Structure 1
Amino acid sequence: MPLNKQLLDKGIKYMLYALPLMFIGPSVIYNAFINKQNVWHYLVLAFGIAFCFLAVYFMFKGIKTLTDALFHHDK
């Protein structure tokens, strides 16, 4: 079973993009809830939620790319 190394590298890169976002997103959301008296509360909360959604997106895209590379799905 041949392995598509370029597609595998692309999938690993997506997973590596998601890794820091998985830690940054919840930390920013926590910071937003701690500082509710600040006027920037909703903006910081929106950025934290966006980071979490980006982490989920990159994880799904990375897993899909990895499975395409491993099981040789042609597009």
Structure 2
Amino acid sequence: METKRTDKDILVKGLKVMLGCLLCMFAGPFLLHTAFANNDKPLCIPLLILGGLLSIMAIFLLFKGINTIMKSLFGK
């Protein structure tokens, strides 16, 4: 009987997705805080939209990264 092994290529792909998630997790709230702190500046609305999109992207990348890592560990 052959033991199942971790697929390293898929694991590396999942870790890259998690790295992108980490970047979005810091950039999104930072931009949201900046937008809410500077209501009178002209870039308030674009920063608010960009921060919201990055925060949503962080959540999506988190689920996708965890799913990819699980596929590499346990197979399909």
Aligned residue-pair number: 73
Q: Which has the larger radius of gyration?
A: 2
| 1:40 maps to 2:26 | no
| 1:18 maps to 2:29 | no
> Where in structure 1 do 4 or more consecutive aligned residues deviate above 2 Å?
none
Give the aligned CA root-mean-square deviation in angstroms. Answer: 0.8
After TM superposition, the score normalised by the length of structure 1 is 0.92
| Residue deviations 1:18-69 (CA, integer Å, cap 9, x gap) | 1111011101000000000112211110000011111111111100000011
Alignment counterpart, residue 31 of structure 1, candidates 22, 26, 34:
34
| 1:66 maps to 2:69 | yes
Alignment counterpart, residue 3 of structure 1, candidates 3, 6, 19:
6
What SS class does the counterpart of residue 37 from structure 1 fall into?
A: coil
Unaligned runs of 5+ in 2: none
After TM superposition, the score normalised by the length of structure 2 is 0.90
